[in-house]
Structure formats: C-alpha cells, structure tokens
Amino acid sequence: MIGPERKAYPKRARDSRKHGSLTVDELKALYEKSRGKVIVFTGAGISVSSGVSVFSSKGGLYDRARRKFKVKDGMTLFSDRFYRKRTKEAIQFFAELGLEVRSASPTSTHFSLVDLEASILRHVTLNVDGLLPRAGASIWDPVKNPAGKTIEFHGNLQDTLCVSCGDIQTLSLSDMKKLKAGKDILCGQCSKSLRPKIMLYDDHDGELITPSYVWDVLKADLLEAELVLWVGISFEQSASVSYYRRVLRLAPALKMVVVNPSEEALWNLKSALSEIPGPERLSSVLEESDSFFKALVEGAGPSPNQTPTHKHRKFRRIVTSHSSSSDRSSPSALREQENLN
Ligand SMILES: [Zn+2]
C-alpha cells in the first residue's frame, strides 16, 4: 500500500468454524454460473508480481519521502492538507512515484482481467499504479468512455487533472520528469497548472477525480450482479472496508468472495464488521491473484473478440520473465472515501 494505514479494528477471535472457504475450482464454477454478472474489486495484491517495490520496502521511495518530509505516517503524505500546504513538493513526490511505477510491468492478473472484461459486469480497482490501462483495460470515464468496464476508483499516478477546467490527460515521460524536477505543467485547454489525478485523503478535488455518481453506476451494476469478488485487497485500510459495507448495504443478498493468499484479509474484514454475513454470503479463496486468474481464464477460454493482441502476448513474455518477487507491494487505495458513500 502507498500509505500503510492500518485501521486498528479489534480482532475477532478466530472461531474454529471454517468461514465458507472455497477452492479455486469451486469459485471458478460459481464464476461460470454467474458469467456476465460478476463484479470484481481489486487492490494492491494484484500488482505484487509487477516489480513495483518502491512503496512499502524499507529504504524505498515511500520510506525516503516519509523521512524527507518528516511525517509519521502514510495518511499524512497522501492527505489533502499536506498537499495544500506543500503543493510543489507533494507533486514532485507523486511524479517520482509515477516514474517508479512506470518502470514496472503489468502482471498476468492485469492481462487476465482485460481478457475477462466481456464476462465481467464491472471491475473496480483501488490501485493508482496505472497498470490496468497499460495492459489494455477499457477504463471508465463519465465523458470520454462511459462504456468502459474498469473504474480506477482512486485515479492514476500517470494522469493529471486540471482543477480549473476538469481536463484529464495522461502524462508523457518528459512531462513527468519535468514535474519531478519541480517545473509546472500547464493545462492544454486553459493554461492553468495541473495536479496528479490521484485521490488524496479528504481530497477537495475528489469530485473531479471520481465523481460521487459513480456509485449510481455501481448501484445499477449491483442490481444485475450475482457475485462480487474482492481480489488482492487486505482490508487493512478503512476505505476498502467502507466500500465493502456500502456494497453490502446496496445488495445484501449478493454472494461475496474474498480472494487473497493470506487468511488475514478475511479476518480483517470480519473484524471490521459489526455483523458477519453467513458463509452463503461471504466466503474466501486462499490464492494469489495470478494463479487464481490463470485458472479462471484457462477455464473460460478467450472469447472470439478477446483473443490477446500481439502487444499483450509480447507484454506477457516480459511479465513472465519479470515476476520474481513475492513480497513486494504496490500502490493502492488512498482515501477515507466516506464522502463518496
Ligand atoms: Zn484546464
């Protein structure tokens, strides 16, 4: 996680009853049964094998920035307050993060999610690493691409936002280097200064990054959905817990499955809930996202219009030769997004 905020929910005693554990094959069968009616939420875990190592590693960029700015936690670095107070330095820091992420490659999970877009009703990612659009995902945009399947809920480090006219652009490498060097990049439409399009805690420009009516879009999706997967989300951050709660509120009868290699994710979630849904409503699969999606894609087989492009196949080879780390982390949710709720 970018900001390793840990919400101090009291841990529930782990009961001996297995809480709706599913095998990958069982979830695959559920997925097939609900084909076209599946909503997927993804978090930092899906980028673990991407080579993004700067965020949580000791001595990494985040660690260095925390010491440089003399702040005690991640929430401060990614807060609107800090951004307003030290705007230039904050922008330089985000540009540095963006440049680091740029050198990472999408994982096989990112490509699988692109391949599965036709059989998924919606994909909501909490990650800001921008690896999904690089893998070819169709990114939802209320104006430019309302039919997009994937919603980058917290923005994307590779994009800039003009708070004056609302224009959003993807940064070129040279512009990102300029931002890192402390130079201004001006909006092509209105010549005002640009800011990174990532959601900060209590972001005053949040409505321009992810408009609150995105929940109307999700509400409509949830009315159609049969299954919601929470993949690579540790539920250590209160934002992801609040999204879960909101989805539960909007669709209390939906089947939800947490997919994570660590059982901590489910326990974190359960610890944060006042009432735990039964195993018919909430269950888990203990699996890494790369192998889980590999199994899913193999079972589904690519649909005719989803045959991976040459570019994808080339990228896949790069990813395969790149996926060596197992404990790296990547950027993810940044916001106490209660005001989106
Ligand atoms: Zn502008």
**Banded model confidence at residue 75, pLDDT cuts 50, 70, 90:** confident
* Residue among 106, 6, 1 at smallest CA distance from 63: 1
Burial of 144 (0-12, 13-18, 19+ CB in 10 A): exposed
* Residue among 72, 43, 75 at smallest CA distance from 333: 43
Domain regions of the chain by residue span: 19-50+106-154+210-336, 53-103+157-198
330 vs 159: which has the higher pLDDT: 159
Q: Which residues are annotated as a binding site?
A: 162, 165, 187, 190
SS3 assignment, position 206: helix
Query: In this predicted structure, what is the pLDDT of residue 68?
Result: 79
Question: For residues 60 and 51, what is the distance between their CA atoms, to the nearest angstrom?
Answer: 13
Tell me what the mean pLDDT of segment 292-312 comes to.
Answer: 60
Whole-number Å distance, alpha carbon 210 to ligand 1 midpoint, is: 17
Task: List helix spans (H) across the chain.
Answer: 24-33, 61-68, 74-77, 80-85, 87-102, 108-115, 131-135, 173-180, 206-209, 214-224, 238-250, 264-272, 289-300, 310-320
**Banded model confidence at residue 55, pLDDT cuts 50, 70, 90:** low
pLDDT in tens, 305-335: 444 443 444 433 333 333 333 322 222 334 3
Residues 6 or more apart whose Cβ sits within 8 Å of residue 170: 158, 159, 160
- CATH topology for 53-103+157-198 is SIR2/SIRT2 'Small Domain' (3.30.1600)
- CATH topology for 19-50+106-154+210-336 is Rossmann fold (3.40.50)
Q: Which residues are annotated as a binding site for Zn(2+)?
A: 162, 165, 187, 190
Whole-number Å distance, alpha carbon 70 to ligand 1 midpoint, is: 32
275 vs 243: which has the higher pLDDT: 243
Q: Is the pLDDT assigned to residue 338 strictly greater than 50?
A: no
**Banded model confidence at residue 8, pLDDT cuts 50, 70, 90:** very low
Whole-number Å distance, alpha carbon 191 to ligand 1 midpoint, is: 6
Q: Is the pLDDT assigned to residue 1 strictly greater than 60?
A: no
Q: What mean pLDDT value characterizes the chain?
A: 82
For β-strands 150-152 and 282-285, DSSP reports them as unpaired
Tell me the catalytic residues.
154
List the Cα angle 205/221/25 in 5-degree steps.
115
Owner of token pair 């997009």:
148
